[in-house]
Amino acid sequence: MGFRMGIVGLPNVGKSTLFNALTRTAAAQAANFPFCTIEPNVGDVAVPDGRLEKLAAIAGSKQIIPTRMTFVDIAGLVRGASKGEGLGNQFLANIRECDAIAHVLRCFEDGDITHVEGRIDPVADAETIETELMLADLDSIERRRANLARKLKGNDKEAADQDRLLAVAQKALESGRPARTVDVAPDDLRNWRLLQLLTSKPVLYVCNVEEASAGSGNSQSARVAEMAAAQGAGSVVISARIEEEISQLSADEAEMFLTEMGLEEAGLDRLIRAGYQLLGLQTYFTVGPKEARAWTITKGMLAPQAAGVIHGDFEKGFIRAETVAYDDYIAGKGETGAKEAGKFRVEGKTYEVKDGDVLHFLFSG
């Protein structure tokens, strides 16, 4: 289980440059004019996790298989997109298919790269896109509620539930709040997600700064961080230019480059970690002589459902999970040492999988 994150933003903010860096390809054309990205470019990237290599070294695994996440580079948005301006309709359709939004904001000055609105103001840029998404949601809600009218007259319970949730979302949007600010009851969560409202998706603000500010950010990214905190959203500082340079280097060269730049880690790592936190994701591992592999699950997932991420039959026939925490596996230099230290556990169907668990599932076929 991975997740799909749409990279969005106004034209010329660095979306395609970031996408190229993330996917280590030049598939997305980065050019200094609006709408250079016409079709959404999709790239699967490995999630970097230093724990996986350490586990593989201890187990003598022949193959290392990281978990993956999908990035979608979506066409640049302009004011009026909710009414179909620019590539608005296409933009809105593509974003609807994503689990979360990485909203790239221009936090750098560069006279050679034009800004579609002629000024550098990342908070205003964020508000422009948020407004367009809210207007698109309102339009969608009004049309959907009108279509439900006949079913409501026939006392259709499913239609009534849908209309009730749409009405709650409409009230929030009309008061200037995105749908993600709505407090949804646990029993309604599944139907709420099925509404696929654009503004219900979690947002991560990506502050694209100049190279000199890649480590600590600048005054513009500080404004974005303040806005994100007020919204309960995430924010991360990144230099798309630096990430693009790093993506062309070997692992050793990249490490040396980061050291020279005074950076502790690549922006990709920060971006993925922020994305994980945004969606409540975590990683568990399966380790053996054949392969060491990472798997992505949601926090709070029980052992049978975690097993189902590998294969549906594992969940259906789940018997038990044998588990060792990552730190205990490393300290014991493997499963045997962990067992001798009393750190090997057998867990049942109600066990909540923890980040870093090394698991082996037993199931009936």
- The helix (H) or strand (E) run that includes residue 275 is helix 267-279
Phi/psi of residue 352, nearest 5 degrees: -90, 115
Q: Is 155 annotated as a binding residue?
A: no
Q: Is 13 annotated as a binding residue?
A: yes
Specify the 3-state DSSP secondary structure of 204. Answer: strand
Q: Is 217 annotated as a binding residue?
A: no
Q: Is 354 annotated as a binding residue?
A: no
Q: Locate tokens 């926090």: which residue?
A: 299
Q: Is 17 annotated as a binding residue?
A: yes
- Strands 358-363, 318-324: pairing is antiparallel
Separation between Cα atoms, residue 149 and residue 14, nearest integer Å: 44
Q: Locate tokens 């359709």: which residue?
A: 93
- Tell me 302's DSSP state: B
Closest-CA residue to 23 (of 248, 241, 288, 236): 248
Q: Is 12 annotated as a binding residue?
A: yes
Residue type, 109: E
Q: How far is residue 120 from each of residues 12, 102, 137, 188, measured CA to CA in Å?
A: 11, 19, 27, 40
Alpha helices of 80-214 — where are they, by DSSP H? 88-96, 122-153, 157-174, 189-194
Binding site members for ATP: 12-17
Binding site members: 12-17
